Chain A
Amino acid sequence: MTFQSISFLVFFLPVVLLLHWAGPRRAGWQNGLLVAASWLFFYSWGPQLLPLLLAVTALNYGAGLALEALRGPEGAPPDTLRARRGRLLLGAAVAVDLGLLVGWKYTGFLVRTADAMAGAVGLPLSVAAPSWALPLGISFWTLQQVGYLLDVHHGRTAACRSPLAFALFSSFFPQIQAGPIPRSDLVAQLEVPRAFTLDALRAGAFRFFRGFVARFLVAAVLGRLLVDPAFSQAGQVSAVRHWLGLLGYAGQVFCDFAGYSEMAIGAAMALGVKLPENFDAPFLATNLLGLWRRWHMSLTGWLFEHVYSPLMTGSGRLRGRLDLGFLLTFLVSGLWHGAAWTFVLWGGLQGLGLIVHRRYDEAYRGLCRTDRAWVTRRKSRAYLLAAWAITQLFFLLTLVPFRARSFGEAAAFAGGLLGGGPLAPPRLALIDVANLLVCAGLLLAYHALRGRQLPLPAVARGVLYGLLIVYLAVFMPVADGTFIYAQF
């Protein structure tokens, strides 16, 4: 059952909403219903994998309670037997969570890599790499659960006492497939009954619809008309088509994931649950660090909180080594995105980009200390425009390995971007051109408005939205497409 399926839109979501708000306003009822709905949603993706989710939920629920019990009082010495047991339990629980993720997602990658390395020295292993079906959203809910355990262990949150609330925290259907990755404070929301408000229902419905348009119309159109033809003929078509394909891919991957996040946030909002925001107009960012504060914010926040900050402020060898921390954090991010070396390359490039940005920023601050005119220059339009162009161009180019299925394809595509050839744009029907213009308009409007309403009288706005909906319904095909981030 997917978000665009008739069974979800016409049956599942309306029935869940109706039962949720028509029933008693008690956390037990609301959570029980949503847990049943969430497990049914998960079951619809892979019946054989539901026991895994249930087992992980039970494990982390128990581990959370035990970690809290083993947590010493404030100021207790870290070398007591209880503290050591706490660390041991945390390590074991996190190892199980990450072990399942690694086992399911990376075994094939590790086997293929080992085989290739052995083959390079003349010792082919000839072991077939397994290709198991990934449990729905395992990359996302593993981080969510690990974050919860770390927060409980460090005393940043209380362990969840209600098994029902924790089961919902672990399986909430709007976000289980691909986030946003909620922080452990979501538990507190789920432990109390949620109150119905028409405003929340209306706002949730609007965001769900907005996400639907981005995910199933805009992303799908960009992918079909620009991206797939360019990448499937990497190095064989004109440079213009490569650049259009890459620009289209930036729009596609953004609409695909930001659209899904909007749908998840909207559906949760309609159920009285507030999920964290995941995107904030990333194509307006004027530096790479800023871009990562706006793109997949829940993952970036998780990585900074649970990987970067502990490495940098801990007492280990990496303490204070900010550049190395960037590189390691984004290599982890790359590997999280996909079990392939192309993703590792992508993560490494992001890390290197952040290092360059940080070093540049430090050098620029040195100039500002000597002459205040540099501060003024930094605020000028020309400076901001150049900073924006460099940031976005860098991010755009790093999408080549992100999209390519192999280094060879990435190299061919990169060569195609530089290649000459005739100025031959793709041959498109008039309706396709119109659809692409609508897509570009929607992307621009999203970044310009950033959640605000169009500055028009309500009637004019209503007419405009109505015309847009009619256009979308009549002329733009709802494509099944491939949900890019679901693969991660």
Chain B
Amino acid sequence: MDQRADLRRAIVEWLDDNYLFGDAAGMLTSDDLSFLESGVLDSLGFVRLVLWLEERHAIKIDRKHLTRANFDSMNKIVGYVAQRAGWAP
């Protein structure tokens, strides 16, 4: 399976399991939806998501990359991880 699609599915499952109580399909209306502004994630969730991504993909997310620009939506997260993990474009 395409790595990006796989990661996207895994993030939806993680959000569903940890924050959205099975409502992910209804809440994640767009891959550009801001997780923080829409209330999908809070600051704690942000930290937990980063820890989970680091573990799942064996990458180290540098502190300077912990910004909204990299983690505030599905597209941003998938794009960032793809770049860090060196996936083919």
On A, residues with C-beta under 8 Å from B are 154-156, 289-290, 293, 300-301, 304-305, 308-310, 312-314, 319-320, 322, 358, 365, 368-369, 372, 375, 378
Contacts and interface: CB of A to CB of B under 8 A. Distances in A.
B64 A154 contact: yes
Interface stretch (B4-12, B26-34, B42-50, B74-82): B42-50
A155 B61 contact: no
A313 B64 contact: no
B51 A320 contact: yes
A314 to B, nearest CB: 7
A322 B21 contact: no
B31 to A, nearest CB: 24
B17 A369 contact: yes
A156 B67 contact: yes
Contacts of A358: 44
A155 B64 contact: yes
Contact of A322 (B18, B48, B61): B48
A365 B47 contact: no
- Complex A-B, nearest 9 residue pairs according to Cβ-Cβ distance, in ascending order: A154-B64, A304-B43, A155-B64, A375-B21, A312-B47, A313-B50, A309-B47, A368-B21, A375-B22
A365 B21 contact: yes
B18 to A, nearest CB: 7
Given A154-B64, A319-B51, A378-B21, 5 more contacts: A154-B63, A300-B43, A309-B50, A313-B54, A375-B23
B83 to A, nearest CB: 11
Given A368-B22, A375-B22, A322 B63 contact: no
Contacts, number: 50
A363 B28 CA distance: 24
Interface string B47-65: 1101100100000010110
A276 to B, nearest CB: 13
B17 A313 contact: no
Nearest to B22: A375
Given A368-B22, A378-B21, A309 B51 contact: no
Nearest to A379: B21
A303 to B, nearest CB: 9
B66 interface: yes
Given A313-B61, A313-B66, A375-B22, A289 B50 contact: no
A358 B19 CA distance: 12
Contacts of A289: 42, 44
A290 B61 CA distance: 26
B75 to A, nearest CB: 20
Contacts of A309: 43, 46-47, 50, 66
A358 B21 CA distance: 15
B18 A365 contact: yes
Contacts of B48: 322
Quick one: which of A156, A305, A358, A369 has the most chain B CB within 10 A? A156
A330 to B, nearest CB: 13
A232 to B, nearest CB: 38
A107 B47 CA distance: 34
Contacts of A155: 64
Contacts of B66: 309, 313
